[in-house]
Amino acid sequence: MNTPAKSTQMRNVSEGELTEVDTQSKRGHARMKKMKSFQIPDLYKSSIIGGIKEARRLKDKLKKDFSPTLLDLGSVRFLISRHFGFCYGVENAVEIAYRTIEENRDKRIFLLSEMIHNPDVNADLQSRGVKFIMDTHGGQLIDWSELTSDDVVIVPAFGTTVEIQQRLLAIGINVYQYDTTCPFVEKVWNRATAIGQKDYTIVVHGKPSHEETRATFSHAKENAPTIVVKDMKQTIELAKYITGEKEAETFYQEFTGQYSENFDVTKDLKRIGVVNQTTMLASDTQAIADYLKQVMIQHFDVNGTDISAHFADTRDTLCYATNDNQSATYGLLKEEADLAIVAGGYNSSNTSHLVELCEQKLPTYFISSAEKLLTSDLISHFDLHSKEEKITQNFIPDKEVVTIMLTCGASCPDAVVESILLKLVSFFPESKSVESVLSY
Protein backbone atom coordinates (compact mmCIF):
# COMPACT_ATOMS: atom_id res chain seq x y z
CA MET A 1 0.00 0.00 0.00
CA ASN A 2 1.52 3.31 -1.14
CA THR A 3 0.73 6.99 -0.86
CA PRO A 4 1.15 9.21 -3.92
CA ALA A 5 2.81 12.51 -3.07
CA LYS A 6 2.36 15.49 -5.41
CA SER A 7 1.11 13.13 -8.15
CA THR A 8 4.49 11.52 -8.87
CA GLN A 9 6.60 10.41 -5.91
CA MET A 10 5.33 7.34 -4.01
CA ARG A 11 5.86 6.58 -0.33
CA ASN A 12 5.48 3.10 1.12
CA VAL A 13 3.76 2.15 4.36
CA SER A 14 5.90 -0.59 5.84
CA GLU A 15 4.81 -4.16 6.44
CA GLY A 16 5.31 -3.75 10.16
CA GLU A 17 3.13 -0.67 10.37
CA LEU A 18 0.30 -2.27 8.42
CA THR A 19 0.43 -5.55 10.31
CA GLU A 20 0.40 -3.77 13.67
CA VAL A 21 -2.47 -1.52 12.59
CA ASP A 22 -4.50 -4.40 11.20
CA THR A 23 -4.16 -6.49 14.37
CA GLN A 24 -4.78 -3.57 16.73
CA SER A 25 -7.52 -1.75 14.80
CA LYS A 26 -9.78 -1.32 17.82
CA ARG A 27 -7.06 0.37 19.85
CA GLY A 28 -6.09 2.42 16.80
CA HIS A 29 -9.67 3.54 16.27
CA ALA A 30 -9.84 4.78 19.87
CA ARG A 31 -6.57 6.70 19.55
CA MET A 32 -7.89 8.50 16.48
CA LYS A 33 -10.34 10.42 18.65
CA LYS A 34 -8.24 12.32 21.15
CA MET A 35 -11.17 14.43 22.22
CA LYS A 36 -13.29 11.41 23.04
CA SER A 37 -13.45 7.69 22.38
CA PHE A 38 -16.82 6.58 21.02
CA GLN A 39 -18.45 3.18 21.31
CA ILE A 40 -19.59 2.37 17.77
CA PRO A 41 -21.43 -0.90 16.95
CA ASP A 42 -19.16 -3.45 15.30
CA LEU A 43 -21.45 -3.72 12.29
CA TYR A 44 -20.20 -0.28 11.16
CA LYS A 45 -16.50 -1.05 11.56
CA SER A 46 -13.95 -2.45 9.11
CA SER A 47 -10.51 -3.82 9.93
CA ILE A 48 -9.36 -3.08 6.37
CA ILE A 49 -10.55 0.52 6.16
CA GLY A 50 -9.79 1.19 9.82
CA GLY A 51 -6.28 -0.15 9.28
CA ILE A 52 -5.67 2.06 6.26
CA LYS A 53 -6.92 5.12 8.14
CA GLU A 54 -4.76 4.41 11.16
CA ALA A 55 -1.66 3.81 9.04
CA ARG A 56 -2.14 7.24 7.50
CA ARG A 57 -2.77 8.84 10.88
CA LEU A 58 0.49 7.43 12.24
CA LYS A 59 2.40 8.81 9.25
CA ASP A 60 0.64 12.18 9.24
CA LYS A 61 -0.48 13.10 12.75
CA LEU A 62 -0.84 16.79 11.91
CA LYS A 63 -3.07 15.97 8.91
CA LYS A 64 -1.07 18.09 6.48
CA ASP A 65 -0.82 15.46 3.73
CA PHE A 66 -4.01 15.25 1.67
CA SER A 67 -2.66 12.88 -0.98
CA PRO A 68 -4.55 9.57 -1.31
CA THR A 69 -3.50 6.09 -0.30
CA LEU A 70 -2.58 3.79 -3.18
CA LEU A 71 -3.75 0.18 -2.88
CA ASP A 72 -2.10 -1.62 -5.81
CA LEU A 73 -3.65 -5.05 -6.47
CA GLY A 74 -2.12 -5.55 -9.91
CA SER A 75 -4.95 -5.49 -12.42
CA VAL A 76 -6.82 -2.92 -10.34
CA ARG A 77 -5.45 -0.02 -8.35
CA PHE A 78 -7.40 1.98 -5.76
CA LEU A 79 -6.71 5.56 -4.82
CA ILE A 80 -8.36 5.91 -1.43
CA SER A 81 -9.06 9.38 -0.07
CA ARG A 82 -6.97 10.57 2.88
CA HIS A 83 -10.09 11.50 4.89
CA PHE A 84 -13.58 10.02 4.70
CA GLY A 85 -16.24 8.27 6.76
CA PHE A 86 -17.73 8.79 10.20
CA CYS A 87 -16.77 12.15 11.66
CA TYR A 88 -16.80 13.26 15.31
CA GLY A 89 -20.39 14.47 15.15
CA VAL A 90 -21.67 11.30 13.49
CA GLU A 91 -19.86 8.99 15.90
CA ASN A 92 -21.25 11.02 18.79
CA ALA A 93 -24.80 10.71 17.39
CA VAL A 94 -24.49 6.99 16.69
CA GLU A 95 -23.14 6.27 20.17
CA ILE A 96 -25.93 8.23 21.87
CA ALA A 97 -28.63 6.60 19.73
CA TYR A 98 -27.55 3.02 20.46
CA ARG A 99 -26.97 3.76 24.13
CA THR A 100 -30.45 5.26 24.29
CA ILE A 101 -31.94 2.07 22.87
CA GLU A 102 -30.02 -0.05 25.37
CA GLU A 103 -31.04 2.07 28.36
CA ASN A 104 -34.74 2.39 27.47
CA ARG A 105 -35.88 -1.11 26.51
CA ASP A 106 -39.20 -0.59 28.29
CA LYS A 107 -40.05 2.67 26.49
CA ARG A 108 -41.10 3.80 23.06
CA ILE A 109 -38.20 5.46 21.26
CA PHE A 110 -38.57 8.03 18.49
CA LEU A 111 -36.21 9.96 16.26
CA LEU A 112 -37.29 13.39 15.09
CA SER A 113 -36.07 12.47 11.59
CA GLU A 114 -33.20 10.52 10.06
CA MET A 115 -30.34 10.18 12.54
CA ILE A 116 -27.81 10.94 9.80
CA HIS A 117 -28.09 10.76 6.03
CA ASN A 118 -27.11 7.13 5.69
CA PRO A 119 -29.65 4.43 4.77
CA ASP A 120 -27.83 1.59 6.56
CA VAL A 121 -27.70 3.39 9.90
CA ASN A 122 -31.32 4.57 9.71
CA ALA A 123 -32.58 1.13 8.64
CA ASP A 124 -30.77 -0.58 11.51
CA LEU A 125 -32.21 1.85 14.06
CA GLN A 126 -35.71 1.20 12.68
CA SER A 127 -35.11 -2.55 12.90
CA ARG A 128 -34.47 -2.05 16.63
CA GLY A 129 -37.87 -0.44 17.09
CA VAL A 130 -37.00 3.24 16.68
CA LYS A 131 -39.71 5.20 14.84
CA PHE A 132 -39.25 8.41 12.86
CA ILE A 133 -41.59 11.30 13.65
CA MET A 134 -40.76 13.17 10.43
CA ASP A 135 -39.13 12.39 7.11
CA THR A 136 -35.96 14.10 5.96
CA HIS A 137 -37.93 16.97 4.37
CA GLY A 138 -39.93 17.72 7.52
CA GLY A 139 -43.07 15.86 6.46
CA GLN A 140 -45.00 14.48 9.43
CA LEU A 141 -44.98 10.67 9.76
CA ILE A 142 -46.33 10.43 13.32
CA ASP A 143 -48.67 13.05 14.71
CA TRP A 144 -47.43 14.98 17.75
CA SER A 145 -50.62 14.02 19.57
CA GLU A 146 -49.45 10.39 19.65
CA LEU A 147 -46.47 11.25 21.85
CA THR A 148 -46.55 11.23 25.64
CA SER A 149 -44.22 12.43 28.38
CA ASP A 150 -43.08 8.82 28.90
CA ASP A 151 -41.68 8.55 25.39
CA VAL A 152 -38.02 8.98 24.46
CA VAL A 153 -37.26 11.35 21.59
CA ILE A 154 -33.78 11.52 20.05
CA VAL A 155 -32.71 14.76 18.35
CA PRO A 156 -30.64 13.91 15.23
CA ALA A 157 -27.14 15.14 14.45
CA PHE A 158 -28.53 17.98 12.31
CA GLY A 159 -30.22 19.52 15.36
CA THR A 160 -33.79 20.75 15.34
CA THR A 161 -35.80 23.94 15.29
CA VAL A 162 -36.76 26.09 18.26
CA GLU A 163 -40.40 25.44 17.41
CA ILE A 164 -40.00 21.65 17.67
CA GLN A 165 -38.04 22.00 20.91
CA GLN A 166 -40.91 23.99 22.39
CA ARG A 167 -43.48 21.49 21.14
CA LEU A 168 -41.64 18.60 22.79
CA LEU A 169 -41.21 20.50 26.05
CA ALA A 170 -44.96 21.22 26.06
CA ILE A 171 -45.62 17.46 25.83
CA GLY A 172 -43.32 16.94 28.82
CA ILE A 173 -40.38 15.45 26.90
CA ASN A 174 -36.89 16.60 27.85
CA VAL A 175 -35.56 17.65 24.46
CA TYR A 176 -31.98 17.86 25.75
CA GLN A 177 -31.75 14.42 27.36
CA TYR A 178 -31.09 12.55 24.11
CA ASP A 179 -29.79 15.38 21.96
CA THR A 180 -27.21 14.26 19.37
CA THR A 181 -26.84 17.67 17.68
CA CYS A 182 -23.35 17.93 16.22
CA PRO A 183 -21.20 20.39 18.22
CA PHE A 184 -20.08 22.00 14.97
CA VAL A 185 -23.71 22.74 14.09
CA GLU A 186 -24.14 24.31 17.51
CA LYS A 187 -21.01 26.36 16.79
CA VAL A 188 -22.84 27.91 13.82
CA TRP A 189 -25.86 28.67 16.01
CA ASN A 190 -23.58 30.39 18.53
CA ARG A 191 -21.93 32.41 15.76
CA ALA A 192 -25.33 33.47 14.42
CA THR A 193 -26.43 34.47 17.93
CA ALA A 194 -23.28 36.55 18.44
CA ILE A 195 -23.64 38.57 15.25
CA GLY A 196 -27.41 38.80 15.62
CA GLN A 197 -27.01 40.41 19.02
CA LYS A 198 -24.85 43.07 17.35
CA ASP A 199 -27.73 44.02 15.05
CA TYR A 200 -26.51 42.22 11.96
CA THR A 201 -28.97 40.44 9.70
CA ILE A 202 -27.93 36.80 9.33
CA VAL A 203 -27.41 35.36 5.86
CA VAL A 204 -27.31 31.55 5.97
CA HIS A 205 -25.64 29.77 3.05
CA GLY A 206 -27.37 26.41 2.87
CA LYS A 207 -29.97 24.22 1.23
CA PRO A 208 -33.32 25.66 2.40
CA SER A 209 -35.00 22.24 2.77
CA HIS A 210 -32.08 20.53 4.57
CA GLU A 211 -32.68 19.63 8.24
CA GLU A 212 -29.57 21.43 9.40
CA THR A 213 -30.40 24.63 7.50
CA ARG A 214 -33.97 24.59 8.81
CA ALA A 215 -32.59 24.25 12.36
CA THR A 216 -29.96 26.97 11.88
CA PHE A 217 -32.53 29.31 10.34
CA SER A 218 -34.87 28.73 13.29
CA HIS A 219 -32.22 29.46 15.91
CA ALA A 220 -30.79 32.42 13.98
CA LYS A 221 -34.12 34.22 13.61
CA GLU A 222 -34.54 34.18 17.39
CA ASN A 223 -31.89 36.88 17.54
CA ALA A 224 -32.04 38.75 14.23
CA PRO A 225 -33.67 39.00 10.81
CA THR A 226 -32.50 35.95 8.84
CA ILE A 227 -32.44 34.89 5.20
CA VAL A 228 -31.22 31.70 3.49
CA VAL A 229 -29.35 31.73 0.17
CA LYS A 230 -28.76 28.38 -1.49
CA ASP A 231 -26.00 29.37 -3.92
CA MET A 232 -24.13 32.21 -5.61
CA LYS A 233 -26.93 32.72 -8.12
CA GLN A 234 -29.38 33.55 -5.33
CA THR A 235 -26.72 35.64 -3.59
CA ILE A 236 -26.29 37.82 -6.68
CA GLU A 237 -30.05 38.39 -6.75
CA LEU A 238 -30.06 39.22 -3.03
CA ALA A 239 -27.34 41.80 -3.65
CA LYS A 240 -29.62 43.62 -6.09
CA TYR A 241 -31.97 44.36 -3.19
CA ILE A 242 -29.03 45.73 -1.19
CA THR A 243 -28.09 48.10 -4.02
CA GLY A 244 -31.67 48.96 -4.96
CA GLU A 245 -31.42 47.48 -8.45
CA LYS A 246 -34.56 45.47 -7.69
CA GLU A 247 -37.82 46.69 -6.26
CA ALA A 248 -38.33 45.66 -2.63
CA GLU A 249 -41.81 44.30 -3.37
CA THR A 250 -40.45 41.45 -5.53
CA PHE A 251 -38.14 40.21 -2.75
CA TYR A 252 -40.88 38.46 -0.82
CA GLN A 253 -41.95 36.38 -3.78
CA GLU A 254 -38.44 35.61 -4.98
CA PHE A 255 -37.30 34.40 -1.55
CA THR A 256 -40.54 32.80 -0.40
CA GLY A 257 -39.96 30.54 2.60
CA GLN A 258 -36.35 31.67 3.00
CA TYR A 259 -36.70 34.75 5.21
CA SER A 260 -37.81 35.31 8.80
CA GLU A 261 -41.11 36.81 9.85
CA ASN A 262 -41.38 40.61 9.51
CA PHE A 263 -38.22 40.75 7.40
CA ASP A 264 -37.94 44.30 6.06
CA VAL A 265 -35.89 44.27 2.89
CA THR A 266 -35.55 48.08 2.96
CA LYS A 267 -33.90 48.06 6.41
CA ASP A 268 -32.55 44.58 7.17
CA LEU A 269 -29.87 44.41 4.48
CA LYS A 270 -27.76 47.34 5.67
CA ARG A 271 -25.76 45.26 8.17
CA ILE A 272 -25.20 41.56 7.36
CA GLY A 273 -23.10 38.59 8.39
CA VAL A 274 -22.71 35.19 6.71
CA VAL A 275 -22.85 31.77 8.36
CA ASN A 276 -23.45 28.44 6.66
CA GLN A 277 -24.72 24.91 6.69
CA THR A 278 -21.62 23.04 7.86
CA THR A 279 -21.59 20.62 4.93
CA MET A 280 -21.55 23.13 2.07
CA LEU A 281 -18.50 23.51 -0.16
CA ALA A 282 -16.00 25.73 1.64
CA SER A 283 -15.06 27.49 -1.58
CA ASP A 284 -18.72 28.32 -2.30
CA THR A 285 -19.33 29.78 1.15
CA GLN A 286 -16.16 31.85 0.96
CA ALA A 287 -17.08 33.12 -2.49
CA ILE A 288 -20.55 34.16 -1.27
CA ALA A 289 -19.12 35.96 1.77
CA ASP A 290 -16.47 37.73 -0.33
CA TYR A 291 -19.05 38.77 -2.92
CA LEU A 292 -21.45 40.24 -0.37
CA LYS A 293 -18.60 42.00 1.40
CA GLN A 294 -17.57 43.72 -1.84
CA VAL A 295 -21.17 44.68 -2.54
CA MET A 296 -21.39 46.33 0.88
CA ILE A 297 -18.06 48.14 0.40
CA GLN A 298 -19.07 49.56 -2.97
CA HIS A 299 -22.68 50.37 -2.13
CA PHE A 300 -22.00 52.08 1.18
CA ASP A 301 -18.70 53.60 -0.02
CA VAL A 302 -16.72 52.41 2.96
CA ASN A 303 -13.36 51.96 1.26
CA GLY A 304 -10.72 52.97 3.75
CA THR A 305 -13.18 52.96 6.64
CA ASP A 306 -14.46 50.27 8.94
CA ILE A 307 -16.44 47.68 6.92
CA SER A 308 -17.72 46.25 10.21
CA ALA A 309 -20.36 48.96 10.14
CA HIS A 310 -22.06 46.94 7.39
CA PHE A 311 -20.45 43.47 7.26
CA ALA A 312 -19.69 41.13 10.16
CA ASP A 313 -16.25 39.52 10.20
CA THR A 314 -17.34 35.90 10.67
CA ARG A 315 -14.81 33.11 10.49
CA ASP A 316 -15.63 30.07 8.38
CA THR A 317 -18.23 27.85 10.03
CA LEU A 318 -17.59 24.61 8.17
CA CYS A 319 -16.80 21.68 10.46
CA TYR A 320 -13.33 20.15 10.49
CA ALA A 321 -14.54 16.92 8.86
CA THR A 322 -16.12 18.74 5.94
CA ASN A 323 -12.91 20.71 5.46
CA ASP A 324 -10.74 17.59 5.70
CA ASN A 325 -12.94 15.55 3.35
CA GLN A 326 -13.07 18.30 0.76
CA SER A 327 -9.32 18.96 0.98
CA ALA A 328 -8.67 15.22 0.68
CA THR A 329 -10.89 15.10 -2.42
CA TYR A 330 -8.87 17.87 -4.03
CA GLY A 331 -5.77 15.83 -3.19
CA LEU A 332 -7.38 12.75 -4.69
CA LEU A 333 -8.16 14.58 -7.91
CA LYS A 334 -4.52 15.53 -8.45
CA GLU A 335 -4.00 11.88 -9.42
CA GLU A 336 -5.01 10.18 -12.66
CA ALA A 337 -7.73 7.52 -12.60
CA ASP A 338 -10.33 5.89 -14.84
CA LEU A 339 -13.36 6.46 -12.60
CA ALA A 340 -14.44 7.51 -9.12
CA ILE A 341 -16.79 5.75 -6.73
CA VAL A 342 -18.34 7.93 -4.02
CA ALA A 343 -20.35 6.15 -1.32
CA GLY A 344 -23.05 7.57 0.90
CA GLY A 345 -26.70 8.40 1.36
CA TYR A 346 -28.26 10.08 -1.65
CA ASN A 347 -29.65 12.88 0.52
CA SER A 348 -26.29 13.53 2.16
CA SER A 349 -25.22 17.11 1.47
CA ASN A 350 -21.52 16.68 2.21
CA THR A 351 -21.37 13.53 0.06
CA SER A 352 -23.10 15.19 -2.88
CA HIS A 353 -20.47 17.94 -2.84
CA LEU A 354 -17.71 15.33 -3.08
CA VAL A 355 -19.52 13.88 -6.09
CA GLU A 356 -19.72 17.33 -7.69
CA LEU A 357 -15.96 17.80 -7.27
CA CYS A 358 -15.12 14.40 -8.77
CA GLU A 359 -17.55 14.84 -11.68
CA GLN A 360 -15.52 17.80 -12.87
CA LYS A 361 -12.60 15.54 -13.73
CA LEU A 362 -13.71 11.97 -14.46
CA PRO A 363 -16.66 9.55 -14.65
CA THR A 364 -18.13 9.46 -11.15
CA TYR A 365 -20.63 7.01 -9.68
CA PHE A 366 -22.55 7.88 -6.51
CA ILE A 367 -23.72 4.68 -4.79
CA SER A 368 -25.21 3.90 -1.40
CA SER A 369 -23.85 0.36 -0.99
CA ALA A 370 -22.05 -2.54 -2.65
CA GLU A 371 -25.43 -3.84 -3.82
CA LYS A 372 -25.44 -1.09 -6.44
CA LEU A 373 -22.49 -2.80 -8.13
CA LEU A 374 -24.75 -5.16 -10.07
CA THR A 375 -22.11 -6.87 -12.21
CA SER A 376 -18.67 -6.02 -13.57
CA ASP A 377 -20.53 -4.36 -16.48
CA LEU A 378 -23.48 -2.72 -14.70
CA ILE A 379 -23.74 -0.17 -11.92
CA SER A 380 -26.86 1.42 -10.44
CA HIS A 381 -25.99 4.93 -9.27
CA PHE A 382 -27.61 8.20 -8.27
CA ASP A 383 -27.60 11.09 -10.72
CA LEU A 384 -27.38 14.38 -8.84
CA HIS A 385 -28.80 16.30 -11.78
CA SER A 386 -31.92 14.23 -12.47
CA LYS A 387 -32.24 13.21 -8.78
CA GLU A 388 -32.86 9.61 -9.89
CA GLU A 389 -31.01 6.32 -9.89
CA LYS A 390 -29.88 5.12 -13.27
CA ILE A 391 -27.99 2.12 -14.61
CA THR A 392 -24.77 2.54 -16.56
CA GLN A 393 -23.21 -0.20 -18.66
CA ASN A 394 -19.49 -0.83 -19.07
CA PHE A 395 -18.59 1.52 -16.23
CA ILE A 396 -15.25 -0.28 -15.81
CA PRO A 397 -13.04 0.34 -18.86
CA ASP A 398 -11.47 -2.58 -20.71
CA LYS A 399 -7.85 -1.98 -19.75
CA GLU A 400 -4.94 -4.07 -18.54
CA VAL A 401 -4.80 -2.01 -15.34
CA VAL A 402 -7.78 -0.01 -14.05
CA THR A 403 -7.41 2.77 -11.50
CA ILE A 404 -10.41 3.60 -9.28
CA MET A 405 -10.77 6.52 -6.90
CA LEU A 406 -12.72 5.67 -3.75
CA THR A 407 -14.17 7.94 -1.09
CA CYS A 408 -17.35 8.54 0.90
CA GLY A 409 -19.18 11.14 2.95
CA ALA A 410 -18.97 11.86 6.68
CA SER A 411 -22.01 9.70 7.50
CA CYS A 412 -20.94 6.55 5.65
CA PRO A 413 -19.71 3.61 7.78
CA ASP A 414 -16.30 2.05 7.12
CA ALA A 415 -18.05 -1.30 6.69
CA VAL A 416 -19.91 0.03 3.63
CA VAL A 417 -16.67 1.25 2.05
CA GLU A 418 -15.03 -2.11 2.70
CA SER A 419 -17.89 -4.02 1.07
CA ILE A 420 -17.69 -1.75 -1.99
CA LEU A 421 -13.93 -2.20 -2.18
CA LEU A 422 -14.15 -6.01 -1.97
CA LYS A 423 -17.01 -6.15 -4.49
CA LEU A 424 -14.96 -4.15 -6.98
CA VAL A 425 -11.94 -6.37 -6.39
CA SER A 426 -14.10 -9.42 -7.19
CA PHE A 427 -14.59 -8.04 -10.70
CA PHE A 428 -10.85 -8.51 -11.30
CA PRO A 429 -10.20 -12.27 -10.84
CA GLU A 430 -6.48 -11.91 -11.61
CA SER A 431 -5.91 -9.24 -8.98
CA LYS A 432 -4.12 -9.77 -5.70
CA SER A 433 -6.29 -10.03 -2.60
CA VAL A 434 -6.59 -6.98 -0.38
CA GLU A 435 -5.44 -9.03 2.59
CA SER A 436 -2.23 -10.10 0.86
CA VAL A 437 -1.31 -6.54 0.02
CA LEU A 438 -2.06 -5.35 3.54
CA SER A 439 0.10 -8.05 5.13
CA TYR A 440 3.23 -8.16 2.96
Annotated domain spans of the chain: 2-86+320-439, 88-171, 188-309
What span, in angstroms and rounded, lies between the C-alpha atoms of 238 and 204?
12
Q: Does domain 188-309 have CATH number 3.40.1010?
A: yes
Q: Which stretches of the chain drop beneath a pLDDT of 50?
A: 3-34, 440
Contact 76, 402 (CB under 8 A): yes
- Structural class in CATH, domain 2-86+320-439: alpha beta
Strand partners, 365: 341
For residue 329, give the H/E element and its range. helix 320-332
Give the pLDDT score at 2.
53
> Is 188-309 the same fold as 2-86+320-439?
yes
* Sheet of 69-72, strands arranged across: 9-12, 2-5, 69-72, 76-80, 402-408, 339-343, 364-367, 378-383, 388-393
> Treating both helix axes as pointing N-terminal to C-terminal, what angle do 320-332 and 282-300 enclose, rounded to 10 degrees?
110
Model confidence over 25-51: pLDDT tens digits?
Answer: 333 333 334 457 788 999 999 999 999
The fold adopted by the segment(s) 88-171 is: Rossmann fold (3.40.50)
Closest CA to 237 of 280, 275, 288: 288
CA distance 366 to 381: 5
Q: What pLDDT, on a 0 to 100 scale, did the predictor assign at position 229?
A: 98
Whether 54 is catalytic is no
Set 54, 91, 211, 212: catalytic member? 212
Question: What's the pLDDT at 304?
Answer: 56
Q: What is the pLDDT of residue 27?
A: 34
Which residues lie closer than 8 Å to 183 by C-beta, 6 or more apart? 88, 89, 92
- Helix/strand/coil (H/E/C) assignment for every residue in the chain: CEEEECCCEEEECCHHHHHHHHHCHHHHHHHHCCCCCCCCCHHHCCHHHHHHHHHHHHHCCCCCCCCCEEEECCCEEEEECCCCCCCHHHHHHHHHHHHHHHHCCCCCEEECCCCCCCHHHHHHHHHCCCEECECCCCCECCCHHHCCCCCEEEECCCCCCHHHHHHHHHHCCCCCCCECCCHHHHHHHHHHHHHHCCCCEEEEECCCCCHHHHHHHHHHCCCCCEEEECCHHHHHHHHHHHHCCCCHHHHHHHCCCCECCCCCCCCCCCCEEEEECCCCCHHHHHHHHHHHHHHHHHHHCCCCCCHHHCECCCCCCCCHHHHHHHHHHHHHCCCCCCEEEEECCCCCHHHHHHHHHHHCCCCEEEECCHHHECCCCEEEEEECCCCEEEEEECCCCCCCCEEEEEEECCCCCHHHHHHHHHHHHHCCCCCCCHHHHHHC
Whole-angstrom distance, CA of residue 148 vs CA of residue 168: 9
